[in-house]
Structure 1
Amino acid sequence: MADALTITGLDCFYGEVQVLHGLDLALKRGEVLCLLGRNGAGKTTTLKAIMGLVRARAGSIKLGDKELTALAAHEVPRAGIAYVPQGRRLFAEMTVAENIEIGLMTCNKGRATRENVLELFPILRERLGQRSGTLSGGEQQMLAMARALCLEPDVLLLDEPTEGLMPSMIARIRETVARLRESGVSTILVEQRVDAVLSLADRVSFIENGRNRETLEVERLREDPSLIKRYVGVG
C-alpha cells in the first residue's frame, strides 16, 4: 500500500528546546495510524508540524510527492490535510451552520460538500441554528470534525477526539473514523485511550522523547498488550 504522508528526519523546536528528534513516520493510504505515548512525548507537536504550525528546522514532510515544509500554515489545508486540534476550537458564539460555512469557505466548497458532511453527522442537521457553545461535548467534537471534513481532505489529523466524552459519543466518533477509512481518507489519531486504539487503528506508532520508537500492526498489540505497557506504562 502506498504512503499518503511521509515524515523523514523531522527536527522541531519550541524556542531553543528541541521537541522532535529526527522523527520518521509513514501513513499509508486509507489507514488509521495512532500515535501513542506519554504526555510530552511529541505527539501533538507532530500534528502541528504537519500543519505548518510548528516549523521544521530539518527533515521532510511529504503528502504524496508534495513537500509541505515549504508551505505556509494557511496553505497546508488546501494541499489536502485537515486538522481537528485538542479542545475543538469552535466559534462558540456562532451557530452550527456558521461554523460549517467557515469550513466550506476555506477551500471554496459548496452545497454538495455540506450535504456529505451532514450525512456523516445527522445530529448536526438538527442543530444547525443552535450556537455551537451550547452543544454537548460530543456534539462539539462532531462539529469540529465536520468543519474539518468540509475541506474534503486526503489526510485527517485528530488530536484526542474522545477526551471527556460519554461512551455513546465515543462510539459515534469511532464509527465516523471507520467510515472515513472506507471512503479512502487516511487518518492520524493521537489518543490516550488504549481501548479506542485497539478497536480502531490499523497500526500504532509509539512516540517517545520526540522519536518514533516502533510502529506495529494493531493485531500484534492485541496479542501482546505488554508492548503497550513498555512505552506508555499501561496495559
Structure 2
Amino acid sequence: MSAALTISQLDCFYGEVQVLHGLDLELRQGEVLCLLGRNGAGKTTTLKAIMGLVPARNGSIRLGGRELTALPPHEVPKTGVAYVPQGRRLFAELTVAENIEIGLMARNKGHAVREAVLDLFPLLRARLKQRSGTLSGGEQQMLAMARALCLEPQVLLLDEPTEGLMPSMIAKIRETVAGLRERGVSTILVEQRVDAVLPVADRVAFIENGRNRETVEVARLRDDPALVRRYVGVG
C-alpha cells in the first residue's frame, strides 16, 4: 500500500526544548493510523508540525510527492491536509452554518460540498441556525470535523476527538472516521483511550519521548495488551 504522508527524521523544538527527536512515521493511503503515548510524548506536536504550526528544524514531511516543511501554515490546508485540534476551536458566537461557511471559504468550495458534509452529520442540519457555543460537546466535535471536511482533504488529522464525550457520541465519531476511510481519506488519530482506538484504527504508532518506538497492526495490539502497558502505562 502506498504512503499518503511520510515523516522522516523530524526534529521539532519549542524554543530551545526539543520535543520531536528524529521522528519517523508513515500514513498509508486510506488507513486510520492512531498515535498512542503518554501525555507529553509528542503526539499533538506531530500533528502541529504537519500543519506547519511548529516548524521543523530538521527532517521531512511529504504529502505524496510534495514537501510540506517549507510551507507556511496557511498554505498547508490547500495541499489537502485538514486538522481538527484538541478543544475544537470553533467560533462560539457564530452559528453552525456560519462555521461551516468558514470551512468552505478556505478553498472556495460551494453548495455541493456543504451538502455532502451535512450528509455525514445529519444532526447538524437541524442546528444550522444555532450558535455553536450552545451545542453539546459531541455536537461541537461533529461541527469541527464538518468544517475540516469542507476542505475535501486527502489527509485528516484528529486530536483526541472523543475526549469528554458520552459513549453514544463516541460511537458516532468512530462511525464517521470509518466512513471516511471507505471514501479514501487517510486519517491520523491521536487518542488516549485504547478502547476508542481498537474498533476503528488499522495500525497504532507508539510515540514516546518524541520518537516513534513501534508501529503495529491493531490485530497485534489485541493479541498483546502488554504493548499498551509498556508505552502508555495502562491496560
- TM band (smaller chain): over 0.9
5+ residue gaps, structure 2, are none
Aligned partner letter, 1:177: V
Q: How does 1:44-59 map to 2 (within 5 A)?
A: 44-59=44-59
What is the match of residue 230 of structure 2?
230
Q: Distance in 2 between matches of 1:108 and 1:69?
A: 24
Q: How does 1:189-204 map to 2 (within 5 A)?
A: 189-204=189-204
> Aligned-residue CA RMSD in angstroms?
0.3
What is the match of residue 68 of structure 1?
68
Q: How does 1:209-220 map to 2 (within 5 A)?
A: 209-220=209-220
Q: How does 1:1-235 map to 2 (within 5 A)?
A: 1-235=1-235
SS where residue 101 of structure 1 aligns? helix
Runs of 4+ in structure 1 off by over 2 angstroms are: none
Q: CA deviation at 1:144?
A: 0.1
5+ residue gaps, structure 1, are none
Aligned partner letter, 2:17: V
Q: CA deviation at 1:81?
A: 0.2
CA deviation profile, 1:134-170 (whole Å, cap 9, x unmatched): 0000000000000000000000000000000000000
Q: CA deviation at 1:199?
A: 1.1
CA deviation profile, 1:158-188 (whole Å, cap 9, x unmatched): 0000000000000000000000000000000
Q: CA deviation at 1:14?
A: 0.2
Aligned partner letter, 1:65: G
Q: What is the identity percentage for the equivalent residue pairs of Structure 1 and Structure 2?
A: 83
Q: CA deviation at 1:198?
A: 1.0
What's the TM-score, normalizing by structure 2?
A: 1.00
Aligned partner letter, 2:223: E
CA deviation profile, 1:98-153 (whole Å, cap 9, x unmatched): 00000000011000000000000000000000000000000000000000000000
SS where residue 206 of structure 2 aligns? strand
SS where residue 173 of structure 2 aligns? helix
Q: Distance in 2 between matches of 1:234 and 1:90?
A: 32
